[in-house]
Amino acid sequence: MNYRVQEIKVPLSYTEEDVRQAVLARTGLLKEQLLQCTVIRRSLDARREPRYNLIVEFTAAAPLPANISGLMTAVHSEEIPGPGTLHSGLRPGRLSPLIVGAGPAGLMAALVLAENGLKPVIVEQGDRAETRAKTIHRFLKTGDLDPASNILFGEGGAGLYSDGKLTSRHKDRRTIRRFFTVLAECGAPESILIDAEPHLGSDRLHAIIPRLRDRIISLGGTIRFNAAVSGILIEQGIFKGVVVNGKPVPADYGIIAAGHSARELYRVLAESGTALEQKPFAVGVRLEIPQRIVNRHTFGRYAGTPGLEAASFRLTRKAHGSTRSCYTFCMCPGGEVLPCASTQGMVTSNGMSLSARAGINANAAFLVPVSPGDFSAAPESRHPVLQGCRFQEQIESAAFSAGGGDFSLPASRLTDFLNSSGSSSISPEHSCRRSKPADVGGILPSVVYETLISAIPPMIRNFRGLDADQVTVYAAETRSSSPVRILRDSSTGMSVSTENLFPAGEGAGYAGGIVSSALDGMAAAAALMKKYQSD
């Protein structure tokens, strides 16, 4: 009989025998009653001396007496959902489904379709992960931007240069497990299957993505890089393909899985008549704080204990008076701050961590919500639905100028930022290799700046020993999510205006982060297959 027991406490450097002994102590079982033990969930408990809190499944030699089984839950084996079986393959005379974008949504949609024999074709305007890494290295060193392949565009999506967090509020745990299993099979550590707050780090993602690509190709899929979409082919309201690099690519079904920065694609969709709407998002700054301060805040006197990872934080501040709410986003422990760009003359900020999270600084975006009313005056007369994009561009253009016009991020000490003055210097321990002292506050819309100078001090007040001069503020954080939503039907997953076109992921306005984007791509693939089966 299989059972599940919670609240199993073990040290950070626990062994299998530690787990067995803790289960015996927690349940009162006899040694001979306890057979195989498997940890299925692990979270860090840092309230006192740091230790792990486990959920363990085990097999008992026989049904347990009531006085013992009452401490546990009987469980039945649950299979991980694997490759689908809706189709035996692409039917004769039908064109392969087309996927725009090779980020988490596009890659996982392609994998699901390929597993079902539909031979998907991905078109990605950027380059493959390996070549993209070299292009980005050159950009960070020299400021030489490739508008098609950069930190925001290319195989792996914007998440390839991030902390690689695998957290999600999605309720479908079995599908999340399926996604994590795919990642593990492509080289991710097995710990992501049990950790409460798993992460990969940008270095691991760089190894995982090519393996996922190879898996899709081995199943009959195709990926075309440096393939920018310049048109959508629609006949009588039905999707018929796209125009790539000036040439038509016909398809019977399509998934739009571009990322949150796909401004040119939004314009193409708007001109094709595809239904779009403005969407609220958030803008702000990225703060960099010494990691030792964050560790001490979280772990107290146990900071530095072997086995403890760099600590993270999540902070919020409710709206107060005339100021709006503020919250942290994309927190990167032991990470670095990067300048990002997809267009000449504009720059935005981003955070990234490697798997070890071993850098001396932590960073996080501090964001303020904005809505269509805030960007209604942005100059966009032809397609008003894209005013949010223009609003972002205005801020990014101001940041580019303030940073000296070479894709350096404008930066300031927090003290100067709060006092509405420019900085002549920034912390010598700052991480961003392309940054320059500037008046960061002057780059931001007034409502955003006023909220930040009101909200940030109380938000970081509990970081004992933190001096505002140790904190570096970078501007501006503008690409936290898409300013546009590609409208889709909630029951079919299909565009409300274009039959056989399925919007998915962050760029479609229905996800945020690696996990939710991947799951949305998988859902789009399932919706496409359902339509394929019924046609």
| CATH number for the domain harbouring residue 53 | 3.30.70.2700
pLDDT at 407: 98
pTM for the whole structure? 0.94
Range of the domain at 285: 281-477
pLDDT at 62: 75
pLDDT at 69: 63
C-alpha closest to that of 445 among 501, 512, 373: 373
pLDDT at 344: 97
Q: Is the bond preceding 476 in cis, omega lying within 30 degrees of 0?
A: yes
Which of 477, 504, 523 finishes a domain?
A: 477
pLDDT at 314: 96
**Residues 6 or more apart from 283 whose CB is under 8 A from it?**
367, 368, 370, 392, 395, 444, 445, 448, 476, 477, 478, 480
Please report whether residue 209 resides in a domain: yes
Whether residue 321 sits in one domain with residue 451: yes
| pLDDT tens for each residue of 112-126 | 999 999 999 999 999
pLDDT at 83: 56
| pLDDT tens for each residue of 483-496 | 999 999 999 999 99
Please report whether residue 88 resides in a domain: no
Mean pLDDT of the chain: 93
Predicted confidence (pLDDT) at residue 53 exceeds the cutoff of 80: yes
Whether residue 256 sits in one domain with residue 362: no
pLDDT at 81: 55
Distances (CA, A) of 158 to 65, 104, 153, 190: 53, 9, 6, 24
Please report whether residue 119 resides in a domain: yes
Q: Average pLDDT in the 19-42 region? A: 91
Q: Average pLDDT in the 34-38 region? A: 91
Please report whether residue 332 resides in a domain: yes
pLDDT at 232: 97
Which of 459, 477, 495 finishes a domain?
A: 477
Q: How many CB atoms lie within 10 A of CB 336?
A: 20
pLDDT at 438: 96
Whether residue 161 sits in one domain with residue 113: yes
Residue 117: CATH number of its domain: 3.50.50.60
Please name every residue paired with 477 in a beta bridge, in sequence order, or none if there are none.
Answer: 284
Please report whether residue 458 resides in a domain: yes
| pLDDT tens for each residue of 452-478 | 999 999 999 999 999 999 999 999 999
Whether residue 253 sits in one domain with residue 193: yes
Predicted confidence (pLDDT) at residue 282 exceeds the cutoff of 80: yes
Predicted confidence (pLDDT) at residue 130 exceeds the cutoff of 80: yes
Whether residue 169 sits in one domain with residue 116: yes
Percentage of the chain exceeding pLDDT 70 = 96
Whether residue 383 sits in one domain with residue 241: no
Give the least confident one: 136-150, 270-284, 385-399, 421-435.
421-435
Whether residue 337 sits in one domain with residue 244: no
pLDDT at 63: 75
Please report whether residue 89 resides in a domain: no
Helix axes 129-142, 202-218, angle to 10 degrees: 150
Per-residue pLDDT band for 346 (boundaries 50, 70, 90) equals very high
Q: Is 273 helix (H, G, I), strand (E, B) or coil?
A: coil
Whether residue 446 sits in one domain with residue 318: yes
The b/e string for 197-232 (b: 16+ C-beta within 10 A; e otherwise) is ebbbbbebbbebbbebbebbeebbbbbebbbbbebb
Please report whether residue 80 resides in a domain: no
How many domains does the chain fold into?
A: 3
C-alpha 517/C-alpha 504 separation (Å) is 7
pLDDT at 335: 97
Whether residue 192 sits in one domain with residue 48: no
Helix axes 514-534, 173-185, angle to 10 degrees: 100
Per-residue pLDDT band for 135 (boundaries 50, 70, 90) equals very high
The tokens for 478 are 């503008």
Which of 454, 477, 500 finishes a domain?
A: 477
Which DSSP state fits 433? Answer: S
- If one compares 63 and 263, the residue with the highest pLDDT of the two is 263
Whether residue 136 sits in one domain with residue 118: yes
Whether residue 263 sits in one domain with residue 154: yes
- If one compares 66 and 16, the residue with the highest pLDDT of the two is 16
| pLDDT tens for each residue of 348-360 | 999 999 999 999 9
Per-residue pLDDT band for 170 (boundaries 50, 70, 90) equals confident
Please report whether residue 59 resides in a domain: yes
pLDDT at 88: 57
pLDDT at 82: 58
3-state secondary structure labels for all residues of 217-270: HHCCCEEECCCCEEEEEEECCEEEEEEECCEEEECCCEEECCCCCCHHHHHHHH
Q: Average pLDDT in the 331-351 region? A: 97
Whether residue 315 sits in one domain with residue 267: no
Predicted confidence (pLDDT) at residue 171 exceeds the cutoff of 80: no
| pLDDT tens for each residue of 186-220 | 999 999 999 999 999 999 999 999 999 999 999 99
Distances (CA, A) of 156 to 174, 235, 423: 23, 31, 36
Q: Average pLDDT in the 284-294 region? A: 98
| pLDDT tens for each residue of 58-115 | 998 877 777 666 667 777 655 555 555 555 577 887 899 999 999 999 999 999 999 9
